[in-house]
Structure 1
Amino acid sequence: MAPRFSTRVGALAVLVFHAAQGCAHAPTPAAPPSLVVLEGARVFDGEATGGPATVVLEGELIRAVGPRGSLQVPAGAQVVDYSGKTLIPGLILAHGHVGNVSGTELGRRFYTRENITRQLSRYLGYGVTVINSLGMNPPLFYTLRRELNGNTTGADLMGAGPGLGAPMGLPPARGMNLEDDQVMRPETAEAAREAVRDMASKGVDMVKLWVDSMNGAMPRLSPEVYRAAIDEAHRHGLRVAAHIHDLEDARAVVEAGVDVIAHGVRDQPVDDAFIQAMKTRGVWYIPTLNLDEANYIYAEHPAWMDEPFFRAAVDPALQRRFDDPQWRRETLASEGAAKARKAVAVNLENLRTLHQAGVKIGFGTDSGAMPQRIPGFAEHRELELMTQAGLTPAQALRAATRDSAELLGLKSQGSIAPGMVADLVVLDADPAQDIRNTRGIHAVWRRGVQVRGAPSPRPAPP
């Protein structure tokens, strides 16, 4: 299927010409935005790739897209030859985390400007141009969200502020070395409403709920509390995402009005009633397939772990863990690994069922929440896992770009079309033919500026 091209470049060239002429009695105009022409690449339009094409950038926006040779190249434009390459929009991560991890360690002390800036830069190097940090964000989040968005050095930071969990429940503050200010834990419906009002006043993009008892091992957020939180969030025009694991909890939050299921259902197959409720209410489903796989896959040491694309994403301390034979043996023999395998199998099958039924699928990995959920690489592995669940490569890419932009309410990101922000990933080969081709990153463009080549490797661990 050929892309739906636009030929607005002719009008653009005329406007640039007249602006250059100026008038004797007019004020000196500001310098026009820079013009860049990306020539000859195939373009992913949300459905398929087609081309070769011409893409015209003006400043930070895409101004025209058309088949190669159909558009007049504006005089003075910088022309970049991408013949044989493929352009996709920047990936949009609707469920990730920042500031929780450094190397193999977790803790509140890592939620710093320096660490988060570094993590956003790492995401960008892997073609992720927006990350929605879905909870566990202390007060510094609000400042960074305001200051860092729109930059060209890292991904845009969106998020849910601290989020709401049950007292003494998930996420386990002690187990994750989190301080109390990282999660709000209301005990009553009114306290939940007040928590949502506080987050809305400070600036969040979504409200996060943890509704999961870890199979009865921890307190679960009560229906009275999460219903009040959902209602209050909707009063403030905010969508609500719920962390769940089991089908029972997923059913309950959908019935309560939640907008996003933030993890896949992993205890049993989804049923027709749940599917119909998801479709009727228009609820989004983010499977996070890589989440459980990350609990055992690195101990198996698949061949791709030796590839530069993977090793460039891994902190040296984490790489040393992965290379430790004893850690690998103990991990593979653990009860946790066996449970994770079962969860992945159920998650894959439920994604297959829900996608085939027409439920809206978003893109998320939970990367950054734990050391083994590796920012940057996790997103490309998630795309591959989505195709194992039956999505075509193009459908997986659409979920990670256009559809997740819709989930997050981003009207000018997620597509390669006139008027959209020029967040682009240049690939060596067509990912619609093989989703692993997303790993062949040639360059990343951020708001009309080339900011990255291929991901640079980290130093090898001693």
Structure 2
Amino acid sequence: MNSFSVMNAKIFDGRRSIPARTIRVENGHIAEVGSLGMRESDAGVIDARGGTILPGLIDAHVHLLPGSLRQAATFGVTTLIDQFSKPDLTASEATFRAQPGYADFRTSSIGATAPGGHPTMAYSPFPYLEGPSGAAQFVAERVSEGATHIKVLYEDGSTSPHATPALNLATIRSLVRAAHEANLIVVAHATTSKAAIDVVRCGVDVLAHAPFDKIAPVQLSEIARSGVKVITTMSIADGFPGADRKLPILGHPELARRIGAAWTKVIEQQSQRWLPDPVPDFSIIAVNVRNLQAAGVSLLAGTDAPNPGTIHGASMHRELQHLVSAGLTPSEALTAATGSTADAFNLHDRGTIAVGQRADLLLATGDPTAQITDTQNIRHVWVQGHPVNLDGYVSSDDEASGIASLHATTAKIMTAISKLWPEFPASGTRHTPSTE
């Protein structure tokens, strides 16, 4: 069924709450909003019973795993923006786009980094970029792999225990020019305020993270003037357990129930992994997000799943909570996960509820514009008007494939770290997780 009506609903349209109470979907697209002609006697009518319907959520920063499109959809995340995956995986996942119950995605394919640079530990082997002269070819190769935007990584290791080779700024400027000539936006990984300013001056369009250190007032002004968007990725904090040694995502009953036993085990193992001492101060990121919002910078909700403590789909609900805790209103947080991200990535057919848009929709009990945790009370999800089986991912082959892939990547990273850092994990505070 991809033609139906929803009535008696509060409606958040991707920017604001609107007075309409009904939506009509026909052939996978929104045909009417607020029509008075729909009645309970009509065929295919769903009574929202005062719940809230909003656009399907869009996660602006993920890395794909096998089956992650299906997992995300069960949590109401109907589009994933992949920020570095290898083309064999993106090609495989693309085969599911047209299948009911799977989210859609966009991808950067392979990100641009220096030889041996971040994130070599997770993804090697893959093509590197050695200087400005290779930028045009690098962009062309990514386009041939299906890239819809370009990712550049500017990471010198200043926020990690060891130095990391990094692209020089001349190369980043050349990448930006080549990408813009191909009508692609550029997303830049930069984790410090100085690095963020460096790449902003190169002309990038989106910062992949809110900086981990305090943004100075002069830096904040420059970021705001540039028009760059910022993906918040505050959910990275969820990889660090509190005094109870538990990771936060399992502390929400509605999320935990749909996460299932297998992913629960993964998260519990991650809570016991090695951690730096001291752990990062994530309150600084919250202050940065609040100041960026106040300065008028467009914020995009992204989780960086599947980093430790994060799960595709489920972590978007945590990201929304983090945004509200940082000072955004619930409606502003929801906009960061819908309309603003759709605009930033030129997804003109989604992210808002309006006639002609894709019927990517989430129906939640309660009112997330008043209480952001109500997004977790999921009643229905539709992707292009097709209903998502909310329980279909758990115990599926997709789940098994995703967890196996994550374990393999984790083992690869741990092997690489042990070679680069022989004393690991002696200087840490917890042991590494099992990858069984």
Say if 1:90 and 1:425, in contact at 8 Å, map to a contact too: yes
- Structure 1 window deviating more from structure 2 (290-299 vs 399-408): it is 290-299
Q: TM-score normalised to the size of structure 1?
A: 0.78
Q: Does 1:429 align with 2:366?
A: yes
Q: Name the residue aligned to 2:422.
A: none
**For residues 120 and 427 of structure 1, what CA distance do their matches in structure 2 show?**
20
Q: Does 1:360 align with 2:310?
A: no
Say if 1:135 and 1:208, in contact at 8 Å, map to a contact too: yes
Write the mapping of 1:10-409 to structure 2, written as runs, cut at 5 A. 35-51=3-19, 53-66=21-34, 70-72=36-38, 77-99=43-65, 116=66, 118-142=67-91, 144-145=93-94, 147-173=95-121, 176=122, 178-181=123-126, 184-215=127-158, 217-267=163-213, 269-297=214-242, 299-300=245-246, 305=251, 307-313=253-259, 316=262, 319=265, 322=268, 328=272, 334-336=275-277, 338-340=278-280, 342=281, 344-368=282-306, 370-409=307-346
Say if 1:96 and 1:133, in contact at 8 Å, map to a contact too: yes
Q: Which has the larger radius of gyration?
A: 1
**For residues 89 and 255 of structure 2, what CA distance do their matches in structure 1 show?**
31
Say if 1:137 and 1:160, in contact at 8 Å, map to a contact too: no
Percent identity over paired residues? 28
**For residues 172 and 237 of structure 1, what CA distance do their matches in structure 2 show?**
27
Once the two structures are superposed, residues 400-454 of structure 1 have per-residue CA deviations (whole angstroms, 9 ceiling, x without a partner) of 0011101110111011111111111110111011100010001111111222347
**For residues 399 and 360 of structure 1, what CA distance do their matches in structure 2 show?**
8
Once the two structures are superposed, residues 215-234 of structure 1 have per-residue CA deviations (whole angstroms, 9 ceiling, x without a partner) of 16111111121111111101
Say if 1:443 and 1:454, in contact at 8 Å, map to a contact too: no
Say if 2:191 and 2:209, in contact at 8 Å, map to a contact too: yes
Name stretches of at least 5 consecutive residues in structure 2 with no aligned partner. 397-436
**For residues 345 and 139 of structure 2, what CA distance do their matches in structure 1 show?**
18
1:169 shift after superposition: 1.2
- Structure 1 window deviating more from structure 2 (441-450 vs 49-58): it is 49-58
Once the two structures are superposed, residues 241-275 of structure 1 have per-residue CA deviations (whole angstroms, 9 ceiling, x without a partner) of 011111111000000000000011012x2123333
Once the two structures are superposed, residues 47-91 of structure 1 have per-residue CA deviations (whole angstroms, 9 ceiling, x without a partner) of 443556111111111011117xx2355996422222221101100
Name stretches of at least 5 consecutive residues in structure 1 with no aligned partner. 1-32, 100-115
1:348 shift after superposition: 0.4
**For residues 91 and 393 of structure 2, what CA distance do their matches in structure 1 show?**
30
**For residues 50 and 441 of structure 1, what CA distance do their matches in structure 2 show?**
20
Q: Name the residue aligned to 1:5.
A: none
**For residues 149 and 260 of structure 2, what CA distance do their matches in structure 1 show?**
29
Say if 2:248 and 2:309, in contact at 8 Å, map to a contact too: no
Aligned residues: 392
Query: Taking structure 1 as reference, are residues 315 and 295 closer, same or farther at Cα in structure 2, changes over 3 Å only?
Result: farther
Write the mapping of 1:407-446 to structure 2, written as runs, cut at 5 A. 407-446=344-383
Aligned residue identity for 1:49: S
Query: Taking structure 1 as reference, are residues 455 and 426 closer, same or farther at Cα in structure 2, changes over 3 Å only?
Result: farther
Once the two structures are superposed, residues 173-201 of structure 1 have per-residue CA deviations (whole angstroms, 9 ceiling, x without a partner) of 3xx2x3313xx311121123211111123
Say if 1:49 and 1:430, in contact at 8 Å, map to a contact too: no
1:389 shift after superposition: 0.6
Query: Taking structure 1 as reference, are residues 208 and 302 closer, same or farther at Cα in structure 2, changes over 3 Å only?
Result: closer
Query: Taking structure 1 as reference, are residues 203 and 34 closer, same or farther at Cα in structure 2, changes over 3 Å only?
Result: closer
**For residues 367 and 34 of structure 1, what CA distance do their matches in structure 2 show?**
29
Say if 1:309 and 1:455, in contact at 8 Å, map to a contact too: no
